[in-house]
């Protein structure tokens, strides 16, 4: 049986993680959260007290790191130098700093190579991020670009953490702007991606639509 790669891109709060994990479970596929990889590098950069403007030092941290990337959609663990970092990589410090780290071209080159190696070693895999359909897996069998209104995305994110709606909305807007305007592999919809606006759709509905699309490509 041939390989199946599903690319899921979109801005923060568009439903990427929930949807990607559900689709991976339904396909009995692996799940790769590339955002978690950028977050893990950012965690190490902050741990080592590196200046976020120092691209060379950030790159050195990324190169010297041992990343453990779990790909079980039910339980995708992340470790940094052998230590579990699942909680830390979702914290406000990492979230604030991650766009600066992910804008460093050498960091992207390193992580994209690791992502491609994980994909190449998988029979079926759902990969989520910002540049999967455009850069990491341009030959993916199905490319999905998830969107949702800014208000709805902030609502989803503020229900996941303790921050206010306004603070979350401001953080999302800042991160979207940085992620879409950086020079290296910005957030962009692939020309051949299916766009799905999830503002008014439930999770089950989105998953069902993607499953129907997958039936056509497999």
Please enumerate, by residue number, every residue annotated as part of a binding site: 10-18
- In whole angstroms, give the CA distance from residue 64 to residue 72: 25
User: Which residues are within 8 A (CB) of 84 and not within 5 positions of it... i.e. 6 or more apart?
Assistant: 77, 78
The residue (of 16 and 207) whose beta carbon lies closer to ligand C5P is 16
The residue (of 87 and 212) whose beta carbon lies closer to ligand C5P is 87
Q: Which residue has the tokens 């940085």?
A: 178
Report, in Å, the least distance between residue 88 CB and ligand C5P.
13
Q: Per CB under 6 A, which of residues 169..208 are in contact with ligand C5P?
A: 175, 179
Report, in Å, the least distance between residue 184 CB and ligand C5P.
9
DSSP for residue 132: I
The residue (of 35 and 91) whose beta carbon lies closer to ligand C5P is 35
Binding mask 107-136 for ligand C5P (x = CB under 6 A): ----------------------xxx-----
Residues annotated within the binding site for ATP are 10-18
Interacting stretch for ligand C5P, rule CB under 6 A, among 95-103, 149-157, 166-174, 205-213? 95-103
Q: Per CB under 6 A, which of residues 27..56 are in contact with ligand C5P?
A: 34-35, 38-39
Q: Which of 14, 59, 71, 99 binds ligand C5P (CB under 6 A)?
A: 99
Query: How far out from the chain centre does Cα 99 lie?
Result: 12
Helices (H), the chain: 16-27, 34-47, 55-63, 92-102, 105-120, 150-160, 165-181, 203-217
Interacting stretch for ligand C5P, rule CB under 6 A, among 56-64, 77-85, 98-106, 193-201? 98-106
The residue (of 138 and 218) whose beta carbon lies closer to ligand C5P is 138
Neighbours of 184 (CB within 10 A): 15
**C-alpha distances in angstroms, 172 versus 34, 62, 96, 121, 169?**
18, 25, 10, 33, 5
Q: Total number of residues binding ligand C5P (CB under 6 A)? A: 13
Please answer whether residues 149 and 53 qualify as being in contact, where contact means their C-beta atoms are separated by less than 8 angstroms: no
> Is 14 a binder of ligand C5P (CB under 6 A)?
no
Nearest in space to 172 (alpha carbons), one of 187, 203, 150, 147: 150
Residues that bind ligand C5P (CB under 6 A): 12, 34-35, 38-39, 98-99, 102, 129-131, 175, 179
């Amino acid at each position: 049986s041939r390989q199946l790669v599903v690319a899921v891109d979109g801005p923060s709060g568009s439903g990427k993680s929930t949807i990607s994990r559900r689709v991976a479970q339904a396909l009995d596929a692996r799940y790769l959260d590339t955002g978690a990889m950028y977050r893990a590098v950012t965690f190490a950069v902050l741990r080592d007290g590196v200046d976020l403007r120092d691209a060379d030092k950030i790159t050195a941290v990324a190169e010297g790191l041992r990343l453990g990337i779990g790909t079980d959609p039910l339980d995708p663990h992340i470790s940094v130098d052998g230590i579990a970092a699942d909680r830390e990589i979702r914290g406000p410090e990492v979230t604030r700093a991650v766009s600066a780290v992910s804008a460093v071209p050498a960091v992207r080159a390193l992580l994209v190579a690791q992502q491609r190696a994980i994909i190449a070693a998988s029979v079926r895999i759902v990969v989520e991020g910002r540049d999967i359909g455009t850069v990491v897996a341009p030959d993916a069998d199905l490319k999905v670009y998830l969107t949702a209104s800014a208000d709805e995305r902030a609502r989803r994110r503020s229900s996941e953490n303790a921050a206010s709606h306004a603070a979350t909305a401001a953080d999302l807007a800042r991160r979207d702007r940085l992620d879409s305007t950086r020079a290296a592999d910005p957030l962009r919809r692939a020309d051949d991606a299916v766009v799905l606006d999830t503002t008014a759709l439930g999770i089950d509905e989105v998953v069902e639509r993607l499953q129907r699309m997958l039936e056509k490509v497999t």
